[in-house]
C-alpha cells in the first residue's frame, strides 16, 4: 500500500482524507502521526498559498510527497469572510462552536435568498525536487439560521448543501464525500496520483 502524508492536525480532516484515499489503495498518515513537526505559519493571502506553504514545509522536513489542504467558508453577504481565517474566525483558540456563533450573529439580519455561501478547498502536492501541484474544489450552499445535524465538523451544522437539500452536518460521511469541496478537489487530484507518485514509491 502506498503511503500518503496529509499535512493536517485536524482530526476531522484526517478522517475524511482516510475515507477518500484508502479505497484508492493509499495508507494515510497525518501530522498527528508526526507530533514533532511544528505548525507551519499560514502567511498566505489565499487558500492556495497557504496549502502550498504547508505542503512544501512538511515535505522538506520529511523528504517525502506531502499533500496539504487549506479550506474554509466564504459567505457572500460577509464579502467572502471568514475565508482563509475560517479556522480561527472567533479567535486563536480554534473553536468550531464560537466560529459558528460569530457567523450566525453576523448573519442574523440577512434575509433568505441573500445567505449564499460556499466551502472552498485548495489541495497542494509537494514533491521533493519537483514543482508543487495544486487543485481546488467548491461546494455551493447557504447559511442556515440555526445549527442542524450532528455529523461532520467545522461549519457543517450551519451550512445548507444545495446539492443534497439539507445541512452538511445532516449528511452521512458517504453522502458528504459525494459533494464536499474536499471531494471535488480530490477527484481532480485522483487522476494524476499515479503520475505524481511515479515509480518506486511505496
Residues 68, 80 contacting (CB under 8 angstroms): no
Q: Is 71 annotated as a binding residue?
A: yes
The annotation status of 182 as a binding-site residue, yes or no, is yes
10 in a labelled binding site: yes
The verdict on whether 39 is a catalytic residue reads: no
Structure-block grid coordinates of residue 187 = 477527484
Is 41 among the annotated ligand-binding positions? yes
11 is in an annotated binding site: yes
8 is in an annotated binding site: yes
Known binding residue 154? Answer is yes
Task: Given the residues 70, 96, 101, 112, select the one marked as catalytic.
Answer: 70
Instruction: Looking at the chain, list the stretches that DSSP marks H as alpha helix, in order from N- to C-terminal side.
Output: 11-21, 47-62, 96-106, 173-179, 181-190, 193-197
Task: Report the alpha-carbon distance of residue 158 to residue 41 in Å, rounded.
Answer: 28
Q: Rounded to a whole number, what is the largest CA-CA distance in the chain?
A: 57
Is 99 annotated to bind a ligand? Reply is no
Q: Is 88 marked as binding a ligand?
A: no
> How many other CB atoms are there within 10 angstroms of residue 43's CB atom?
8
Helix axes 11-21, 181-190, angle to 10 degrees: 40
Could you list the residues known to form a binding site for substrate, using ranges: 8-13, 71, 153-156, 176, 181-182
- Annotated binding-site residues for Mg(2+) read 41, 70
Q: Which residues are annotated as a binding site?
A: 8-13, 41, 70-71, 153-156, 176, 181-182
Catalytic residue numbers read 70
Amino acid at each position: 500500500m502506498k503511503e500518503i502524508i496529509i499535512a493536517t492536525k485536524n482530526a476531522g480532516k484526517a478522517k475524511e482524507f482516510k475515507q477518500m484515499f484508502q479505497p484508492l489503495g493509499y495508507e494515510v498518515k497525518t501530522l498527528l502521526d508526526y507530533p514533532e513537526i511544528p505548525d507551519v505559519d499560514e502567511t498566505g493571502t489565499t487558500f492556495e498559498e497557504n496549502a502550498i506553504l504547508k505542503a512544501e514545509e512538511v515535505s522538506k522536513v520529511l523528504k517525502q510527497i506531502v499533500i496539504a489542504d487549506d479550506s474554509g467558508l466564504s459567505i457572500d453577504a460577509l464579502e467572502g469572510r471568514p475565508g482563509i481565517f475560517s479556522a480561527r474566525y472567533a479567535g486563536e483558540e480554534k473553536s468550531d462552536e464560537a466560529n459558528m456563533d460569530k457567523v450566525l450573529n453576523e448573519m442574523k439580519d440577512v434575509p433568505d435568498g441573500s445567505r449564499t455561501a460556499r466551502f472552498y478547498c485548495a489541495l497542494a502536492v509537494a514533491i521533493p525536487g519537483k514543482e508543487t501541484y495544486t487543485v481546488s474544489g467548491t461546494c455551493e450552499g447557504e447559511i442556515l439560521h440555526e445549527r442542524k445535524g450532528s455529523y461532520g465538523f467545522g461549519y457543517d451544522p450551519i451550512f445548507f448543501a444545495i446539492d443534497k437539500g439539507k445541512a452538511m452536518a445532516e449528511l452521512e460521511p458517504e453522502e458528504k464525500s459525494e459533494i464536499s469541496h474536499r471531494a471535488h478537489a480530490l477527484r481532480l487530484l485522483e487522476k494524476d496520483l499515479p503520475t505524481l507518485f511515479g515509480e518506486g514509491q511505496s
